[in-house]
Amino acid sequence: MSTSEDAPSKAPSGNPSRAPGANDLGKALHGWRDRLSPATVGLPAGGVRRAAGLRREELAQLAALSVDYITRLEQGRATSPSPQVLASLARALRLSADERTYLHLLAGQPEPGPGHISAHVPPGLRRLLDQLNGAPLSVHDAAWNLVEWNQPWAALLGDPSALRGRERNIAWRHFTGRHGRVRLTPEQSAAFEAAVVADLRAATARYPADLGLRSLVKELRGTSAVFAELWDSGIVGTHDSATKTIAHPEVGTFTLDCDVLVSAGSDLRVVAYTAAPGSEAAARLGLLDVIGTQAMT
Q: Are 237 and 191 in contact (CB under 8 A)?
A: yes
Average pLDDT for 18-23: 51
Q: Which CATH number fits domain 123-291: 3.90.1300.10, 3.50.50.60, 3.40.50.970, 3.30.450.180?
A: 3.30.450.180
What does the mean pLDDT of the chain come to? 84
pLDDT of residue 172: 96
Average pLDDT for 38-56: 77
| CATH 3.40.50.2000 for the 22-107 domain, yes or no | no
Strand partners, 137: 272
Q: Are 164 and 64 in contact (CB under 8 A)?
A: yes
Outline where 114-206 has alpha helix (H). Answer: 123-131, 151-157, 170-175, 186-206
Contacts of 55 (CB under 8 A, 6+ apart): 49
pLDDT of residue 122: 79
Residue 262: helix, strand or coil by DSSP?
A: strand
Say which amino acid occupies 102: Y
- Res. 236: pLDDT tops 60: yes
Average pLDDT for 18-22: 45
- Res. 10: pLDDT tops 80: no
- Res. 115: pLDDT tops 80: no
Band of the pLDDT at 41, cuts 50, 70, 90?
confident
Query: Of 56, 23, 22, 53, nearest to 39 (Cα)?
Result: 53
* Domain spans, the chain: 22-107, 123-291
Domains 22-107 and 123-291 share a fold: no
Band of the pLDDT at 235, cuts 50, 70, 90?
confident
- Res. 133: pLDDT tops 60: yes
Strand partners, 262: 269
